[in-house]
Structure 1
Amino acid sequence: MPMDRPVVVGVDGSSSSLVAAEHAARAAVLRSRPLLLLHGYLHPLGYGVPVNPYDIGVPVPSEEAQRMLERTAADLADRWPGLVVEVRQVAGGPGITLVEESRRAELVVVGSRGLGGFAGLLLGSVGTQVAAHAHCPVLVVRPDEQQIPVDAPVLVGVDGSESSRLATGYGADEAALRDVPLVLVHVGPADEGRAVPEEIEESRAAYQAEAVRLLAEASTAVRAEHPDLVVREHPVRAAGPAQGLIEASGMASLLVVGTRGRAGFAGLLLGSVSQAAIQHAHCPVLVAHPVT
């Protein structure tokens, strides 16, 4: 992979995007990559086309936005010595702009809501669009995560799918970069609704065997690539995979999810578990898109 691929973050001056920029700066330093602060300056529905059909050409970049980008870049460069920061304005909706830039990026970072977001939405349209359509991994940062934890483990959901294996590889790389443990989580079904003791015991035994097998396979693959990494296996039971991962995310610095698990539909770009995780997790979420 080319070493000049930057970490890209969408910045619009909102508190959410500035928190995302801080996470992006740390990610760039850990990877020894440059940081690109990107501002798409047309309405998300405009996609770079003037709304008024009588307008000729594309609007010019905003001087106010340029000053905001340069202030943010200077602040990040001061606080992260050695970080190389570039700023750019693009005439396009923020979502499509970040998706297109992801073709040349190591990582794309988005906040959960920008200036155009609605307060009742946990993840705005831009974050949803980028998380679903990007051509590289996407880090989704929630606005209430003002402090970046540095010693909590990286958490990965394991279900045996190809998407899960990709997420496990990304999670192991992240844990190694951060010098923290990697926790592999397999979520099995809860006992609710089974009144017969024999059925409960049978279900527990089947889950235990499946969890042991999947977690052992994932651990073996991780240790082959990262022999010095501390790897923990954590089987849990919950009403569903999403709920189990969200509950477990309270003890993590990062949750890594695949785009689709074993129950996902091939036509969906982002499965229900991944969608729930980026909406409700208690830590930042890395969506493990392959680099294309």
Structure 2
Amino acid sequence: MSAYQTIVVGTDGSATSFAAVERAARVAADAGSTLVIVSAYTPASREDTAEAEDVLKDEAYLVTGWTPAEEALREAADRAAAAGAQKVSTHAEDGAPVDVLRKAVRDHRADLLVVGNRGLNTLSGRLLGSVPSDATRRAGVDVLVVHTT
């Protein structure tokens, strides 16, 4: 039996987050674990979607029922599969990144959280906190911080 049964990793669609996804996928592949890829987002306001619908006219249906997180998750899942992960699920959640990651860890009973190091060594990260440092402190499970920058 593997040390890690379920691994959670987050993505925001950035190159650095995809590097963390790929590393998490390789760990999941090696361990035979389930990989859960999550993306935090804030839904667009009705004013924002109404404006987009006005611009898109006949293609306004593209605005309804879609979040930018979904495209990031599709690409992340493709990259995870290419890196060897066999069991992959994706989830978009409304909320702050660290809260969404912690919720995914709880909901999926994960035993490993993978995050990239972006923001960890920046001045704003030191003063205001960063996703990797906050996630590491608050995860409640093992955390793998991947060097992505």
Q: How far does residue 282 in structure 1 lie from its aligned partner after superposition? A: 2.3
Runs of at least 5 residues in structure 2 that lack an aligned partner in the other structure: 51-62
User: Is structure 2 residue 112 aligned with structure 1 residue 259?
Assistant: no
2:137 is the counterpart of 1:284:
no
Q: What residue is the counterpart of 2:102 in the other structure?
A: 246
**Aligned equivalents of 1:213, 1:169: Cα separation in 2:** 16
Q: Distance in 1 between matches of 2:143 and 2:86?
A: 21
SS in 2 for 1:208: coil
Contact 2:43 2:67 in 1 (8 A): no
Secondary structure of 1:185's partner?
strand
1:178: Cα distance to partner?
1.6
Q: CA RMSD in A?
A: 3.0
Cα deviation per residue 1:202-260 (whole Å; 9 max; x = unaligned)? 6xx5883311110011111121231x61111111111x111111222222111100111
Structure with more helix by fraction = 2
Letter paired with 1:232 = S
- TM-score in terms of structure 2 length: 0.73
Q: 1:166 to 1:210 in 2, by over 3 A?
A: same
Stretches of structure 1 that go unaligned for 5 or more consecutive residues are 1-29, 31-147
- Structure showing greater relative contact order (alpha-carbon pairs closer than 8 Å, 6 or more residues apart): 2
- Provide the identity percentage: 32
TM-score (norm 1): 0.39
- Which residue does the alignment assign to 1:274? 132
Distance 1:283 1:190 in 2: 28
Partner residue, 2:22: 169
Q: CA deviation at 1:177?
A: 1.8
Q: Distance in 2 between matches of 1:272 and 1:208?
A: 27
Give the greater-gyration-radius structure (CA).
1
Aligned length: 131
